[in-house]
A and B are shown apart, each in its own frame.
Chain A
Amino acid sequence: MVKFKNELERRIFEIAQRVSDDEVSVEHNKVLSIEIATSLEVASFVGAPKKEIDVITAGFRTCPDLKVLISCKDYRDSAEPADVQEWSAVIKTMNKYSGASKYLGLVVCPSGFTSGCEPWASSYNLGVIPPLKGKKLRFTEATCDQMFERFLVALGKRLQFPHQEIFEAPQFYEFVYQLTEAFEGRDVSAKQYGERYRLMGTGWVSSFPELVRMFMGKGIQEIDVTAAGINIRFSDNLTFRMVGKLIWFGTNDGGLGGQPVPITCEKNFSGQPCSMEFLKSLVLGQKMTSAGDWGDRFEFGLTDDLILAIEPARLQVYRTRNPVDQNLL
């Protein structure tokens, strides 16, 4: 029966166990004989040269001589440079006296790290999760867990290639940073757009900017409306789909499903009724030049100065060419 000192330790252990094929252990109050502080890197140590630590050790069957020693800091506030310095000394000691085995160090502190930690972590080749930033940021525990799992899975693959350089500062620090820094963008996007944008096929959270990048310059080929939603096929086998307030997009996944249903179609900004055939005759073949999301209404700017607006129960087309009254549809 494995005992954990806190919830963070339990979560990290379970992720490591899942990723590392059970090549994982947790030890509490493990006694290390650490060098007496005679050099700069351990100068912050005070007290006896013996240090008790709590450590999760993760290994890989494909690389049995390498272990990742993980320190879980379940703090209310950000970790301080002393926490990083301490773990640096532990890793240094372990590498010095461990014979053939090599160790890499990682500190996980969901409440983050103060900015002063970065020089120590990079200089001593220590990974930190969440990644250090130029400003103070808070990630959720769930995001920190995902960061750790992403890093550990990637390291397992990375070790199947030549990896001697990963022991040279700041290569391992950089590796961890590279695997974790992009989570900020995802979390910011999820906060900004909620569940509105999803990628077809994977169901991954997406964003308005990603949609625009994917569809810019692509031509509209067909519009289908069924009881399930509105499906707009674009060139390059791309599909935009509005299902209620949700927008799914990406490579065409084969169809919307559901029985075809009529939908309200309007022309001009004032919203005069028109037929679906009329609307299609204007927009099919036109290429996307811009886009806008008004929350309950998504608009594609198209060539020929057209705008195609999509709402869950209405389609509208209008021309933006001036003067407006002389360019009505």
Chain B
Amino acid sequence: MTDRPVLINSKNERVDVDELIERCRSNPNRILADDEVGLVVYVGDMDIYAVSGLGHPATGTPSSDKGGHWVQKVNQVSVSRFGSNVRRQIGSVVKTLSADSVFVVRDGNSLLKVKAKDLKPGMTLHTGEKVYW
């Protein structure tokens, strides 16, 4: 499976996606979708936070600050079966990204969702990091 999200709990401990999914499987209603497209599980009451974006602009380290821009409580965790990787420099960090990873970029006064494979030089993420290539 691809597009594995980076998850933590409120204690800033890393949460393994596979273990989380196995916990969810004990209650079939948590499995919102499980098909050839991928898996979506409900985790809204399981103290799960997703680390979004690319982490610190200089080091790439995921922020553990829930009050910051990089960590967000999640209700659903989605794991897609299809995807590929791309290389992009965002901020000062070159990263290998799942092509299907969704980034929020500034577009004038509004925000747009853009997949990693569609990131273009000159775009600016909502976190302020610039896409160089």
Contacts and interface: CB of A to CB of B under 8 A. Distances in A.
A182 B118 contact: no
B75 interface: yes
Contacts, number: 96
B120 to A, nearest CB: 9
B74 to A, nearest CB: 10
B81 A150 contact: no
B96 to A, nearest CB: 14
A153 B36 contact: no
Interface string B7-50: 00000000000000000000001111101111010101100000
B32 A158 contact: yes
A201 to B, nearest CB: 11
A45 interface: no
Among the interface residues A177, A181, A199, which one has the most CB atoms of the partner chain B within 10 A? A181
B76 interface: yes
A118 interface: yes
A171 B72 CA distance: 13
Contacts of B45: 161-162
A178 B80 CA distance: 10
Contacts of A244: none
Contact of B76 (A122, A175, A181, A186): A175
Interface in A140-182: 150, 153-154, 157-158, 160-162, 165, 171, 175, 177-179, 181-182
A186 B33 contact: no
B52 interface: no
A48 B42 CA distance: 43
A316 interface: no
B110 interface: yes
B93 interface: no
Among the interface residues A135, A154, A161, which one has the most CB atoms of the partner chain B within 10 A? A161
Interface stretch (A207-215, A251-259, A280-288): A207-215
B114 interface: yes
B86 interface: no
Given A178-B76, A179-B33, A189 B82 contact: yes
Given A154-B40, A182-B80, A209 B31 contact: no
A12 B83 CA distance: 28
A153 B78 CA distance: 15
Nearest to B39: A182
B24 to A, nearest CB: 11
A162 to B, nearest CB: 7
B106 interface: no
A148 B82 CA distance: 19
B44 A161 contact: yes
A239 interface: no
A251 B42 CA distance: 26
B113 A186 contact: no
A204 B36 contact: yes
Given A135-B118, A186-B82, A210-B81, A157 B36 contact: no
Contacts of B100: 181-182, 184-185
19 contacts: A118-B110, A132-B113, A150-B37, A153-B32, A157-B31, A158-B42, A161-B29, A161-B44, A177-B113, A179-B33, A179-B40, A179-B78, A182-B37, A182-B38, A182-B80, A184-B100, A185-B80, A185-B81, A209-B83
Given A157-B32, A175-B75, 5 more contacts: A118-B110, A122-B111, A182-B78, A182-B81, A185-B100
